[in-house]
Structure 1
């Protein structure tokens, strides 16, 4: 039975449509995994919650990196700065919680709450991407202003490269993610 978040995977613009361009279907597939893992984390025993949190941190790190390195720079000149910049700021918030979780062993009083808040923030962000950002990107694709299939190939390739790097070293290695310096100065 789908939980609070996973049930969205079959609803409206969260569904993966047969005609979704590759970039959108790839990212929606990941969004589905995130919603399901956050649902599982809500009900999990502490040991399993730690395993889920570790997987989420790794997957989210890769997901944010490919969006910031490839998707967002491609979208910005086509759909404008507002949605992309909002996504970057939301990523920054998620990265802070991920960094905190990676320093914990799971026995801490606030561990489950940090996982929960990461879930709330992530699901809000991915829902907006599914409902707004991807719709704007698709409109640009349909008008020939953006090739989301070619972009999808680049996203998938970079995603595989980052996962291979993690398997080899335990780290993503150097990424070219957005640096929202205005957030850091605040």
Structure 2
């Protein structure tokens, strides 16, 4: 009889060793950051928004460099699935770039943020349903762990600001190191 470890997680795969769990955990962090931006004001809102911008830019870049190319090649209907996700990402980057140019206390900021949140959450649900589900189904644990490591490596050099029109792995690889070091605006 084997003993169970009472401190071991019982809620699914480890995000450090499973790309789907990693990306879904990041979707949760993005939701939490949207909540924080909505629930705060002044400097706290500006700070939360800066963290949201960074998280979205890094997360999407890693997906564009690692996950989408793999899904395009291996998932059933991968070409169409990825084309739809890239278009959603392009539109979200445009919205995020427009918001990034506004002050967080501008009267137009919150309506634009709420529109972005709706679009980003719909995008995340589509990824989870159409892309991530297939990645989980067609890959073994070793491949999912290798992809998680690749995503983390891509995030380490990803741009930290939105760059509309840069929705491919090759373009992100060129922009990443240069844009990742760009200092954040201090609204």
CA distance in 1, matches of 2:83, 2:107: 33
Give unmatched runs, 5+ long, in structure 2: 1-10, 170-187
Q: CA deviation at 1:130?
A: 2.0
Match of 1:177 among 133, 148, 167: 167
1:158 and 2:154 equivalent? yes
1:30 and 2:40 equivalent? no
CA distance in 2, matches of 1:86, 1:17: 28
1:140 and 2:135 equivalent? no
Matched residue SS, 1:17: coil
Give unmatched runs, 5+ long, in structure 1: 1-15, 180-186
Structure 1 counterpart of 2:12:
17
| TM-score normalised over the length of structure 1 | 0.73
Matched residue SS, 1:147: helix
Q: CA deviation at 1:18?
A: 2.5
Structure 2 counterpart of 1:90:
88
| TM-score normalised over the length of structure 2 | 0.72
CA distance in 1, matches of 2:162, 2:117: 22
Q: CA deviation at 1:72?
A: 0.4
CA distance in 2, matches of 1:161, 1:19: 23
For each residue in 1:5-60, what CA deviation from the matched residue of structure 2 results, as whole angstroms up to 9, or x when unmatched? xxxxxxxxxxx622776211211121110111112222222432222222111110
1:116 and 2:114 equivalent? yes
CA distance in 2, matches of 1:101, 1:172: 10
Report how many residues are paired.
156
Q: Which has the larger radius of gyration?
A: 2
CA distance in 1, matches of 2:114, 2:49: 10
Structure 1 counterpart of 2:7:
none
**Deviant stretches of 4+, over 3 Å:** none
Q: Over aligned residues, Cα RMSD in angstroms?
A: 2.8
Structure 2 counterpart of 1:182:
none
